[in-house]
Structure 1
Amino acid sequence: MRRVLGITAGLALIAAALSPLPQAQASCVTAARKCQGAPLIGIEVKGGAVPSPDSKGRISYTLDYSMTWTPSFAPYWGAFWVGGRFPKGARGPARAVLLDDAGERVAVLRCREHSDGVWCAAGSHVPHRGRVVFTARLAPGTEARTAARLGFDSFEGLDREESARRLSRTQAREGFCEHRFTTTVTTTQAP
């Protein structure tokens, strides 16, 4: 009888060890594993801003960027969003232009307002070096000197299939590790 009870208890312990984690615990373990350490893809960002000569509040923002991929034995992919916080009350941008390092237009990116700024979906096929150009219109009465905080949101840990999908920022945040690379861009408008 003791032997049967011992075998039953042993099987119960094995079954508990092999059963999947509850959903809340599983997501914590996954998130902790994916976000440890330095990013796999580092992005250096430099920004600039040029006011429109017609002084109607239009500002062209440029981001020059360069990506550094960490050496790894396993392939990895990223999903990228570009944008950030434009000056308070600014309209736009509704789109951004992505250029490669030779100045050739690669894509026109759609932009949307999110709780943490205006972000444009760049997807996963972004040149390792290039420039992004945004145009925004400042609100009337905006101070002559304004600042924007612009750059990249990089989501890592994707596989090839996930990289091919067009994930929303919410989906990317829920499933992958986010790293943000930004710079402050200051401009002075003509009075």
Structure 2
Amino acid sequence: MLDNVREVVSLSQQEIEVFLSVVEVRLFKKKEFVLQSGDLCRNETFVNKGCLKVFYTDLNGTQHNVKFAPENWWSLDLESFATQMPAFYSIQAIEDSECFQISKMHHDWLYEKVPQLEKFAKLRYQNAYIMLQHRMTQSLFSTAEQKYDAFTRKYPGLELRISQKDIASYLGVTPEFLSMIRNKRQKHRIP
């Protein structure tokens, strides 16, 4: 997690100690919820090992995956975290996962104590917004094959670790259609 922060900002040893003093280690078993829709998002979560998915469930009970958080990714329901209103999204471990969490209270306190972390968060949220814009454009104007290509570039190797059903949900296609895409790629030896 420190390497992830240090890619963006420099911290002194004292700032690192302040930062680490509020980080909690959490272990989540496969299928365990980090956050359930309707609850308050009280923590931002960094994935050290494993993978989480962020999704919403529609009125018919269908799950729609909007993001994956493998190693070195952060995850939260940003609106719920910022406003402390009930979460729209759920976050669930899709592999046994070791995560580091920072509570909302400590998050805000860290901004005062270590201003560089506010800069880090600003850049992280900016990048997340850019990724969201790309995903929206992609969902409107790309074919399923193009969406799958973008998925494999964004999450290299993840297609080997998670279920076809979860990937299909993320792409907005059926698992059967995703299987056809994968078979076509193998037949033509497209990585």
TM-score, structure 1 normalization: 0.29
Higher fraction of helix: 2
TM-score, structure 2 normalization: 0.29
Using CA pairs under 8 Å that are at least 6 residues apart, name the structure with larger relative contact order, 1 or 2: 1
